[in-house]
């Protein structure tokens, strides 16, 4: 099991010379998901050598420009590269109507299908699922309807102990049955304890993306215990009034959410362009939650 997150953009509304607007690429169980698509996202995908053809799902938290302005160019590029496989975009219902005239004008001969999947903002919803991964949307608190996303690996089947195969002369059908939870009866007629037969399965990894949002404690039960949490920290706590008014959070508030949700690691991002020295965000957050990192563009986090 593995999870790899690449930060394509870490800034808020105004990009800078070294910080693009919000976009991330998440690879979990060999699936590639694009999360938000701020301006310059496709340039950052190229810089990080991401194979465009592996991106089949795009998740857009909300319809503010700094999270979607890179989408139209990326859609066009996919077409120019000869894409044939459909592309699913999970977003607010308004997006399809907003893009329709642009697609008709600039991409009339698009060689692939775009599937729009509407997000819901009233409660958590499972919006993607396959054999290995689930993706759930959760409501956030911003100035417009906004979702966070939780990506979870499904639990894997435990592996059989090699010494158990030799000791009990296990056949392939017996191994399959044991791995699927069926009891194995030894020569003495009693069940063999599972821990003597199986190695513990690796703990499934999980990633929660929470941007943009006010300090919103209702998300805590939904992100409880995730391996990695990205939570916006647009401002330092001295501007908590401005943060609340503009629908954003401070570094201290993000750290409080991480602490109370018992997450493994916290990533801070979506910084206001007023800040040049981002180390102060880490200092503020570490007063509340120890395992915190301040993201920067092109950083990769692997679990």
Q: What positions carry a catalytic annotation?
A: 66
Angstrom distance (rounded) from CA 169 to CA 201? 22
Retrieve residue 156's tokens: 């894997």
Collapsing DSSP to helix, strand or coil, 297 comes out as: coil
Tell me phi and psi for residue 158, to 5 degrees. -65, 155
Retrieve residue 164's tokens: 């158990």
Task: Using CA atoms of 217, 223, 226, 229 in order, give the dihedral in degrees to the nearest 10.
Answer: -60
Adjacency order of strands within the sheet including 206-210: 125-129, 133-139, 147-153, 206-210, 228-232, 265-269, 292-294
> How many angstroms separate the Cα of 112 from the Cα of each of 36, 79, 88?
21, 7, 11
Helix (H) or strand (E) holding 91, with range, is strand 87-91
| 300 closest CA partner among 29, 58, 25 | 25
Distance of CA 167 to the CA centre of its chain: 43
> How many angstroms separate the Cα of 298 from the Cα of each of 6, 8, 20, 47, 221?
6, 6, 10, 8, 30
Residue with tokens 């044991």, as numbered in its chain: 178
């Amino acid at each position: 099991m593995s999870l790899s997150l690449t930060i394509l953009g870490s800034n808020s509304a105004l990009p800078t010379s070294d910080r693009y607007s919000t976009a991330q690429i998440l690879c979990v169980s060999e699936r590639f998901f694009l999360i938000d698509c701020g301006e310059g996202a496709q340039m950052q995908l190229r810089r990080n050598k991401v194979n465009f053809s592996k991106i089949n799902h795009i998740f857009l938290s909300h319809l503010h420009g700094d999270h979607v302005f890179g989408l139209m160019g990326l859609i066009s590029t996919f077409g120019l590269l000869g894409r044939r496989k459909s592309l699913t975009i999970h977003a607010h219902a308004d997006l399809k109507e907003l893009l329709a005239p642009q697609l008709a004008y600039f991409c009339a001969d698009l060689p692939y299908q775009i599937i729009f999947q509407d997000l819901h903002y009233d409660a958590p919803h499972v919006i993607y699922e396959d054999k290995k991964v689930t993706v759930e949307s959760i409501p956030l608190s911003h100035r417009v309807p906004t979702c966070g996303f939780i990506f979870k690996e499904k639990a894997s089947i435990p592996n059989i102990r090699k010494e158990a195969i030799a000791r009990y002369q296990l056949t392939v059908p017996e191994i399959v049955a044991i791995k699927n939870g069926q009891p194995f009866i030894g020569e003495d007629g009693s069940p063999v304890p599972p821990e003597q037969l199986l190695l513990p399965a690796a703990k499934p990894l999980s990633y929660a993306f929470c941007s943009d949002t006010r300090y919103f404690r209702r998300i805590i039960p939904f992100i409880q215990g995730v391996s990695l949490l990205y939570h916006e920290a647009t401002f330092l706590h001295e501007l908590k009034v401005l943060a609340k008014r503009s629908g954003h959070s401070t570094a201290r508030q993000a750290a409080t959410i991480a602490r109370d949700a018992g997450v493994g690691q916290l990533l801070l991002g979506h910084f206001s362009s007023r800040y040049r020295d981002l180390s102060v965000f880490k200092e503020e957050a570490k007063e509340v939650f120890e395992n915190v990192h301040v993201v920067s563009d092109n950083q990769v986090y692997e679990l």
